[in-house]
A and B are shown apart, each in its own frame.
Chain A
């Protein structure tokens, strides 16, 4: 009897949990206590690292210091070049009237646990809802994309890795822009490109970067390098295997990316519409509408030709953002025919201080093939 009640209760719980968000608060409260156990089980390793760093020999530390210094020098050298390139890129994009690249803000998170289920590739990180993490947020490590946040808890969150069998990510070949979809295989060292034509120009060693088309991952982050391309005449498509650039099963420190509220597609749409409007008016000056954006756009990015705001706020197209409208570079809102609206000059950007972007993840997620769990 009791069994029957409990079984019915469990099944009801599962159905409700799968369909509705009713139990989210309950789950989040329970996780407050229970997620400590990941932290506790991680403790020995943490302690060991602490001890190791305490008793690390001086020569070792000096050597490591040297190494880090050299690395730092190299990176800073590259950074100098990067600043100039970014500047140039912004100028060129202005000339083309295309949307500016938005620099994303990143925040460091630490891995605190692996999912105990060996058949899924998920990790637990030590940043959660209270730290401003949102569902679907991309996660990087130093070398490339790692995955996305799939479950939020108050102080922790669960990240689905690229190599999980239920995960796919839209990518493109860095060399020639060929688009493809990289699906996880369940092997932490392998992604597979699905439905790549046999004649497609893709070869061993190609770098795959995220294309941003799935509306979830920002464009341009390295995802994987192609390891082998197999042309089997018995198969309709080429078999392309790639190795993720991120150290999916070794990285301990990860980067959470806070992006622009608009998706890449929206951005592309906006740019396209701006172009259209421009063509219609015979190459007249376009008047970009400002889009309320998260306050984290660095100053280097934006330098619009004529920053003017539309009279009415573009409420419908973007999720509401707190504060910090920014003179965005040539980014008209999709719903407005830009060139027709003379409008008040927009207020200068409020200081982009500690405002976290309240970016909503896109509701539909074509990048994920499987169910939620």
Chain B
């Protein structure tokens, strides 16, 4: 029975990732570009918490490569960032699951903020130095979105019994 459900609706996870990729390149008004949440990172964080046996660092790395191609950054840059995020989430997994939602958001904020700083560092290395620390804003927006993403995806997971 477990074996039967193991592969059940696994495609839903990938569907959410595909939507995440679309969202991460969807056109936004100029002033909101700077606030674009890290959709892929949010999705990865959720699925890594929900089913760590399926979604892990390798998944994150592959998605990161896809994002690199989309963004035209060096191959491996976003892959590295997403891998780091997934690693941190997995490392804090036991605690994160016990936390209330607001506390989870805080942890997400810290993790994503760190990741964005690494991103800043990598961009500086490749000659594209972003002028400000406004770069940390997406982490903030993502943290604010986390409860909604989390509840929404949890509902989806229950409904389709994604396992």
B-binding residues in A (CB < 8 A)? 2-3, 6-7, 9-14, 17-18, 23, 26-27, 30-31, 34-35, 37-38, 40-42, 45, 113-120, 122, 150-151, 158, 165-166, 186, 249, 370-373
B65 within 8 A of A: yes
Instruction: Give the contacting residue for A11; candidates B21, B24, B72, B76; CB below 8 A.
Output: B76
B34 nearest CB neighbor, chain A only: A118
- Please report the C-alpha to C-alpha distance between residue A26 and residue B62 in the assembled complex, in whole angstroms: 13
| A373 & B57 in contact (Cβ 8 Å cutoff) | no
For the complex, would chain B's binding face be called helix, strand, loop or mixed by DSSP majority?
Answer: helix
Contact with A along B55-75 (1 / 0, CB 8 A): 011100100111001111111
> What chain B residues lie within 8 Å of A117 (beta carbons)?
71
B116 within 8 A of A: no
- Please report the C-alpha to C-alpha distance between residue A255 and residue B69 in the assembled complex, in whole angstroms: 25
Which of B95-147 touch A at CB < 8 Å?
Answer: 122, 126-128, 130-131, 135
- Please report the C-alpha to C-alpha distance between residue A35 and residue B24 in the assembled complex, in whole angstroms: 12
- Please report the C-alpha to C-alpha distance between residue A42 and residue B25 in the assembled complex, in whole angstroms: 10
- Please report the C-alpha to C-alpha distance between residue A27 and residue B70 in the assembled complex, in whole angstroms: 10
- Please report the C-alpha to C-alpha distance between residue A86 and residue B64 in the assembled complex, in whole angstroms: 52
| B27 & A6 in contact (Cβ 8 Å cutoff) | no
A41 nearest CB neighbor, chain B only: B26
> What chain B residues lie within 8 Å of A18 (beta carbons)?
74, 126
Instruction: Give the contacting residue for B128; candidates A3, A34, A41, A119; CB below 8 A.
Output: A119
A22 nearest CB neighbor, chain B only: B75
Instruction: Give the contacting residue for A10; candidates B25, B66, B71, B80; CB below 8 A.
Output: B80
| B76 & A34 in contact (Cβ 8 Å cutoff) | no
Chain A nearest CB, measured from B40 CB (Å): 11
Chain B nearest CB, measured from A115 CB (Å): 7
> What chain B residues lie within 8 Å of A151 (beta carbons)?
72
B30 within 8 A of A: yes
> What chain A residues lie within 8 Å of B122 (beta carbons)?
14
A249 nearest CB neighbor, chain B only: B30
Chain B nearest CB, measured from A48 CB (Å): 12
> What chain B residues lie within 8 Å of A249 (beta carbons)?
30
| B75 & A38 in contact (Cβ 8 Å cutoff) | no
20 example contacts (A-B, Cβ-Cβ < 8 A) are as follows A6-B57, A6-B58, A10-B76, A11-B80, A14-B80, A30-B65, A37-B70, A42-B27, A45-B27, A114-B27, A114-B33, A115-B71, A115-B72, A116-B25, A116-B33, A116-B71, A118-B30, A118-B36, A158-B72, A370-B127
> What chain B residues lie within 8 Å of A166 (beta carbons)?
127-128
Q: How large is the interface on B (under 10, 10 to 19, 20 to 34, 35 or more residues)?
A: 35 or more
Instruction: Give the contacting residue for A118; candidates B21, B24, B33; CB below 8 A.
Output: B33
> What chain A residues lie within 8 Å of B57 (beta carbons)?
2-3, 6
- Please report the C-alpha to C-alpha distance between residue A26 and residue B68 in the assembled complex, in whole angstroms: 12
Contacts A30-B66, A37-B70; is A371 near B22 (CB within 8 Å)?
no
Contacts A14-B80, A37-B25, A42-B27; is A373 near B61 (CB within 8 Å)?
no
> What chain B residues lie within 8 Å of A113 (beta carbons)?
25, 27
B127 nearest CB neighbor, chain A only: A371
| B131 & A27 in contact (Cβ 8 Å cutoff) | no
Chain B nearest CB, measured from A240 CB (Å): 21
| A14 & B74 in contact (Cβ 8 Å cutoff) | yes
Which of B14-37 touch A at CB < 8 Å?
Answer: 21-22, 24-27, 30, 33-34, 36
| B21 & A17 in contact (Cβ 8 Å cutoff) | no
| B36 & A116 in contact (Cβ 8 Å cutoff) | yes
- Please report the C-alpha to C-alpha distance between residue A11 and residue B80 in the assembled complex, in whole angstroms: 8
Contacts A2-B57, A11-B80, A119-B130; is A23 near B75 (CB within 8 Å)?
yes
- Please report the C-alpha to C-alpha distance between residue A372 and residue B126 in the assembled complex, in whole angstroms: 7
- Please report the C-alpha to C-alpha distance between residue A27 and residue B75 in the assembled complex, in whole angstroms: 8
- Please report the C-alpha to C-alpha distance between residue A249 and residue B24 in the assembled complex, in whole angstroms: 19
> What chain B residues lie within 8 Å of A371 (beta carbons)?
126-128
| A35 & B70 in contact (Cβ 8 Å cutoff) | yes
> What chain A residues lie within 8 Å of B30 (beta carbons)?
118, 249
- Please report the C-alpha to C-alpha distance between residue A313 and residue B149 in the assembled complex, in whole angstroms: 66
B32 nearest CB neighbor, chain A only: A118
| B128 & A370 in contact (Cβ 8 Å cutoff) | yes
Chain B nearest CB, measured from A153 CB (Å): 9
| B83 & A3 in contact (Cβ 8 Å cutoff) | yes
> What chain A residues lie within 8 Å of B49 (beta carbons)?
none
User: Which has the most chain A C-beta neighbours within 10 Å: B72, B126, B131?
Assistant: B72
Q: Which 6 A-B pairs have the closest CB atoms?
A: A371-B127, A13-B76, A118-B33, A10-B80, A10-B76, A14-B76
- Please report the C-alpha to C-alpha distance between residue A9 and residue B75 in the assembled complex, in whole angstroms: 10
| B79 & A10 in contact (Cβ 8 Å cutoff) | yes
| A40 & B22 in contact (Cβ 8 Å cutoff) | yes
B93 within 8 A of A: no
> What chain B residues lie within 8 Å of A122 (beta carbons)?
72
